[in-house]
Chains A and B, each alone.
Chain A
Amino acid sequence: GAVVSQHPSRVICKSGTSVKIECRSLDFQATTMFWYRQFPKQSLMLMATSNEGSKATYEQGVEKDKFLINHASLTLSTLTVTSAHPEDSSFYICSAIPRWQVNVVRGYTFGSGTRLTVV
């Protein structure tokens, strides 16, 4: 159980266009999802925390208007990279907490990631 699906796995887009990345919890309801960004050979940088039915909480330095996060249901959160530029090229990973999980001791489940390339 506790499977997180992320789609698409890879996307190439033109500079100036917008790209939507989906994160779905397949067999559980997730009240909280996290979005991370990973640069080549670097660690995961937390971008934002997404709570179902409320506005996402962004980390310092992350542009809210550029990285739009929507968590409209208990099984789906989306990250939209608006007006993408080559510097937005990166690996984006989501993570989800099951509704029944009240603390971190079980760890969180991660999606398989999305490789975004902006040309």
Chain B
Amino acid sequence: GNSVTQMEGPVTLSEEAFLTINCTYTATGYPSLFWYVQYPGEGLQLLLKATKADDKGSNKGFEATYRKETTSFHLEKGSVQVSDSAVYFCALGSANQAGTALIFGKGTTLSVSS
């Protein structure tokens, strides 16, 4: 079945450092891929998405490219800020199955210090 594997955290960085959070997936067909962010005590917010191979999703300085050949969707940001401290979830959705739930990775906690 479909699954998502995310690098385990926590990831601790200094402000302005480069961030990479790895995400790989297993899926049949052509899934859509997402990154969600969860700030402390809150629900999930969609950060970015990509719906087909070679698509690049981007938002708030974060980027991720849908790589079909390596089945990956790594999240990157060139210069993190303290306000980026949160838990990041990689998720997969089956575009062929309307109404099916997203499948999430285990989440990666990012802590940025000033």
Residues of A contacting B94 with CB < 8 Å? 104
Identify which of B43, B100, B105 contacts A93 (C-beta below 8 A).
B43
Identify which of B36, B45, B93 contacts A104 (C-beta below 8 A).
B93
Identify which of A97, A104, A112 contacts B95 (C-beta below 8 A).
A104
Q: Taking CB as reference atom, which chain A residue is nearest B46?
A: A107
Q: Taking CB as reference atom, which chain A residue is nearest B92?
A: A104
Q: Does B99 sit within 8 A of A, measured CB to CB?
A: yes
Identify which of A42, A46, A49, A112 contacts B42 (C-beta below 8 A).
A112
> With A93-B43, A113-B43 given, can you name 17 additional A-B contacts, CB distance below 8 Å?
A34-B101, A43-B104, A44-B89, A49-B101, A103-B96, A103-B97, A104-B98, A104-B100, A105-B49, A107-B32, A107-B102, A108-B102, A109-B46, A110-B36, A112-B42, A113-B41, A113-B42
Residues of A contacting B102 with CB < 8 Å? 34, 95, 104, 107-108
Say which size band chain A's interface belongs to.
20 to 34
Contact with B along A42-56 (1 / 0, CB 8 A): 111010010100000
Q: Taking CB as reference atom, which chain A residue is nearest B4?
A: A43
Report the minimum CB–CB distance from A59 to chain B (whole Å): 9
- Which 9 residue pairs spanning A and B have beta carbons closest together? A104-B93, A112-B43, A110-B44, A43-B106, A113-B43, A105-B51, A110-B43, A107-B46, A32-B99
Q: Does B25 sit within 8 A of A, measured CB to CB?
A: no
Are the C-beta atoms of B106 and A102 separated by less than 8 Å? no
Q: Does A115 sit within 8 A of B, measured CB to CB?
A: yes
Residues of A contacting B41 with CB < 8 Å? 113, 115
- Inter-chain CA distance A43–B6, complex, in Å, is 11
Identify which of A41, A51, A97 contacts B109 (C-beta below 8 A).
A41
Interface residues of B in 2-41 (CB under 8 A from A): 32, 34, 36, 41
Q: Does A6 sit within 8 A of B, measured CB to CB?
A: yes
Report the minimum CB–CB distance from A75 to chain B (whole Å): 17
Q: Does A25 sit within 8 A of B, measured CB to CB?
A: no
Interface residues of A in 82-108 (CB under 8 A from B): 93, 95, 97, 101-108
